[in-house]
Amino acid sequence: MAVGKQDPHRPAAKETSAGNPLRNPKDSMKSTWRLDGSQWTTPHHWLIHILNIHNFDLGVKIPVHQKSDPVPYLTGWSQHRWVLSHALWPIALHKAYELYTGQHFSPLFAFLFYMTAFQINAVHKLWVLRRVGQKLGYFDGDKHPRDDVPDVGVVKTMNSLVMITLLRPMLSVFLAYRANEPVRISWWVPVEAGFYPIILDFWFYLYHRSCHEVDGLWQYHRTHHLTKHPSPNLSSYADTEQEFLELALIPVLTYAVLKLFGFPMTFYDWWICHSYNIFIEAFGHSGVRLWGTPANLFTPILRACGMELVIEDHDMHHRKGWKHSYNYGKATRVWDRLLGTCGERPESYDENVDYTNVVVFPVL
């Protein structure tokens, strides 16, 4: 392994979008605003700074690996531990309130409570992913640093992060919360959480591949592909149409399918499924140099069928353009494998994974 200083302040070398020279300054991914206080012209700049949801710490030395260096192995149980600990604390507080007062949250208070919990968990997740990435390095780090929030996209980035932590709790409360029902997680939740990403990926794959291959739809997805080496806080960097599909329509369709199949999918079950999903979205856009597949009840089956998704899969998808991409899944490669759109892994292929170098995802 070669270790050197990766300059996080260096603007992205690329200045292309979908393989063509940039024609719109708003497409630039150049990021210099953190070092230039004169650019801090909106509350969004200060909010990112105050919450400390930057993709890297200034001045830190990030390991730089050659592509042939073995890739560490991330345990699945530590991912389950992180997700469940963050999913269950709000439910535990809600249950404690119910037992102590004998009352239930109103729908409005439930929305405000779970939205706040969602936001707290999201911020903490960004902190942990940044710390892990700075310790282990990133895929393709010998060629390019990770993209940071661009100068022209600070407002868009912050608005997208707010929307994702507001809209999903709102939809969950509206569709599934019942103020007269006790706080209770169904026994089906492990199975629901196992099927949830597979069903969600069906809808995601359908829309995602269409955006790459159907003329006229790329315009709704191209902004998300301006980042070729994404970071967690750019996971929802997109135009309004894509935000609506990913933040609202696709999760609702997934919920509807599970209900149609007869699963309980109570509000609390859906909250846990959301917690896994939001972890997967940031995890998949982190680029952290790990062999890690999202924790799932069906992971052993997915691995046996070559249908597991790892961090590098979505990372490779972002390096491709309009009609030259693959790895369209978000949480699995079930539909990529069935429909022939799996891509190669330049660094985390099986022979290059060091299963003795075990990484445990930190809970704090």
| 164 domain residue, yes or no | yes
Which residue from 181, 164, 199, 200 is spatially nearest to 268, judged by alpha carbons? 181
pLDDT grade for 138, boundaries at 50, 70 and 90: very high
* First-to-final CA distance of the chain: 28
| 13 domain residue, yes or no | no
| 29 domain residue, yes or no | no
291 CA to centre of own chain = 16
Which pLDDT belongs to residue 236?
82
The two three-digit tokens of residue 122, written as one number: 């999201």
- Residues facing 358 on adjacent strands: 73
| 34 domain residue, yes or no | no
Print the domain residue range for 238: 71-359
What's the total number of domains in the chain? 1
| 333 domain residue, yes or no | yes
| 198 domain residue, yes or no | yes
pTM of structure = 0.88
Which pLDDT belongs to residue 12?
40
pLDDT over 80 (residue 65): yes
| 52 domain residue, yes or no | no
Alpha carbon separation from 176 to 107, 117, 168, 304, 356 (Å, rounded): 10, 17, 12, 35, 43
| 123 domain residue, yes or no | yes
Q: CB-based burial of residue 175 (10 Å sphere; 0-12 exposed, 13-18 middle, 19+ buried)? A: middle
Buried b (16+ CB within 10 A) or exposed e, 253-278: bbbebbeeeebbbbbbbbbbbbbbbb
Mean pLDDT of the chain: 89
Q: Decide: 130 and 55 in contact? Cβ < 8 Å.
A: yes
What's the rounded mean pLDDT across residues 54-83?
Answer: 94
pLDDT tens, residue by residue, 226-269: 899 999 988 888 887 777 777 788 999 999 999 999 999 999 99
CB count within 10 Å of CB 105 equals 18
Q: Say how many CA atoms lie within 13 Å of 198 toward its Cβ.
A: 18
